Amino acid sequence: RLVRPGDLYVALSGAHHHGAEFAQQAAHAGAVAILTDAAGRQMVNGIPLPVIVVDRPRQAMAGVAATIYGRPADALTMCAVTGTNGKTTTSFLLEAALRAGGVGTGLVGTVGFQLNGVSLDCIPTTVTTPESTDLQGLLAFLLEESAETVVMEVSSHALVLGRADAI
């Protein structure tokens, strides 16, 4: 649904469907290549796009996204908060302390995104930790807008899915 001309389409295995089932639609939307696993490779036969096959496409996607966005986390001080309870509170307290000390900050978490204490309402969130592609784009934006340190909530689910890989 989000593919635009020139995109790499990442076909992931899901709970009910494999993303490779939608590769033809991605090609019609302008995808220039497909990144998938061996099972997905079998499903995209006949689609006239280059296919990159890896064992763990979700984890590979994080590295590709980081590279595309210029590896923004390498230029930022990254602070991750994880755990069962208290991620949001801890993140807000840490970000506020850094900002009070004169540090340009970004905040990524359950209640949204902030730059220097100002909500970025134009970027909606539905999860604690965005998908790696969205996260890398957000980090690049925060870096471009003068953030020096980013405090982010990282759920255990996000860690399992590799959303914070390449940071």
What are phi and psi for residue 88, nearest 5 degrees?
Answer: -65, -50
CA 68 to chain centre: 12
Nearest by Cα to 33 from 54, 15, 13 = 54
Beta strands 149-153; 118-119: pairing state:
unpaired
Mean pLDDT of the chain: 95
**Which SS3 state, helix, strand or coil, does residue 78 take?**
strand
Q: What is the pLDDT of residue 121?
A: 80
Please tell me the pTM assigned to this model: 0.90
Nearest by Cα to 115 from 106, 102, 124 = 106
Give me the residues paired with residue 53 across strands.
36
Q: What is the pLDDT of residue 122?
A: 74
- Cα separation, 76 vs 51, in Å, equals 33
What would the pLDDT profile of 51-65 be if each residue is shown by its tens digit? 999 999 999 999 999
Instruction: Give 118's pLDDT tier (boundaries 50, 70, 90).
Output: very high
- Cα separation, 104 vs 137, in Å, equals 18
Q: What is the pLDDT of residue 53?
A: 97
Specify whether the CB–CB gap between 105 and 116 falls below 8 A. yes
Provide the 8-state DSSP code for 7. Answer: P
Instruction: Give 66's pLDDT tier (boundaries 50, 70, 90).
Output: very high
- Cα separation, 26 vs 67, in Å, equals 22
For 123-152, what is the mean pLDDT?
A: 93
Alpha helix (H) ranges present in the chain?
23-28, 38-43, 57-68, 87-100, 132-144, 156-161
- Cα separation, 40 vs 14, in Å, equals 11
Q: What is the pLDDT of residue 13?
A: 93
Instruction: Give 28's pLDDT tier (boundaries 50, 70, 90).
Output: very high
- Tokens found for residue 30: 């302008």
Q: What is the pLDDT of residue 9?
A: 97
Q: Is the confidence at residue 110, as pLDDT, over 80?
A: yes
